């Protein structure tokens, strides 16, 4: 790890090949769509594309859930315990 720090502190902000390989490896372990194809060799660009798609899908799901919670909140008593829970989630 000290080797990484010394390379980075040399004034260059360039990411090393080792760091890219490490990042791609970690992303492969985290993204379900890639994890299920573990036996295949997946390119770094494919891993990054799948990661971006996964993050976009998560954003969409969060937006949808937020909208549903807002709609639910509009239909219940604003002073109820349920409303307090929903407000804390939003």
> What's the pLDDT tens digit per position in 3-37?
444 444 455 678 888 998 899 888 888 887 777 76
DSSP 3-state assignment of 37?
A: coil
**What pTM was estimated for this model as a whole?**
0.61
Residues 6+ positions from 70 with CB-CB distance below 8 Å: 90
Cα separation, 29 vs 11, in Å, equals 31
pLDDT reported for residue 13: 78
Out of 40-44, 56-60, 66-70, pick the least confident. Answer: 40-44
Alpha carbons within 13 A on the beta-carbon side of 33: 12
pLDDT for res 40: 67
């Amino acid at each position: 790890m000290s080797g990484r720090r010394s390379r980075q502190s040399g004034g260059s902000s360039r990411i090393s090949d080792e760091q890219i390989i490490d990042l791609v490896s970690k992303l492969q372990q985290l993204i379900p769509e890639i994890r299920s194809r573990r036996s295949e060799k997946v390119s770094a660009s494919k891993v990054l594309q799948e990661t971006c798609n996964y993050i976009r899908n998560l954003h969409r799901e969060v937006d949808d859930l937020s909208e549903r919670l807002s709609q639910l909140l509009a239909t219940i008593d604003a002073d109820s315990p349920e409303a307090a829970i929903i407000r804390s989630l939003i």
